Amino acid sequence: MIRLITGLALLILGSTCGEIAITHGMKSVGEPARLRPGAVIKFLGRAVRNGWFWTGVPLMALSFYALLLLLSWEPISMVIPASALSYVAGTLGAKFILGEEVSTARWAGVILVCVGVALVAAG
């Protein structure tokens, strides 16, 4: 049970922290001026020089490897629904770390995700 909880924590925290770091970095990089090859290459150059981008990439990799471990230990019918808790963590991170506005409908969706994960864990 402890390895399941540890694996899920690594999966959820790794993906959420990685997504938040990459989002923060990409917001500071901005968007490409045009979708032409030169503008896209300049945009990608700015992105790979951003420290937040390189903070997020290993965290996302950690999350992926945690998913692989979990799938080797537990049934997929348990792992994938439990990994949906990253949506909850992501929404909380968006609100409190990135300062994004989260609508009531999105909070309702977060509650539904929590209920769904609880039902899967109970069954």
pLDDT tens readout for residues 4-56: 889 999 999 999 999 999 999 998 888 887 888 888 888 889 888 999 999 99
Report d(CA 28, CA 46) in Å as an integer. Answer: 10
Report d(CA 86, CA 16) in Å as an integer. Answer: 6
Q: What is the pLDDT of residues 97-118, one digit of tens each?
A: 999 999 999 999 999 988 988 8
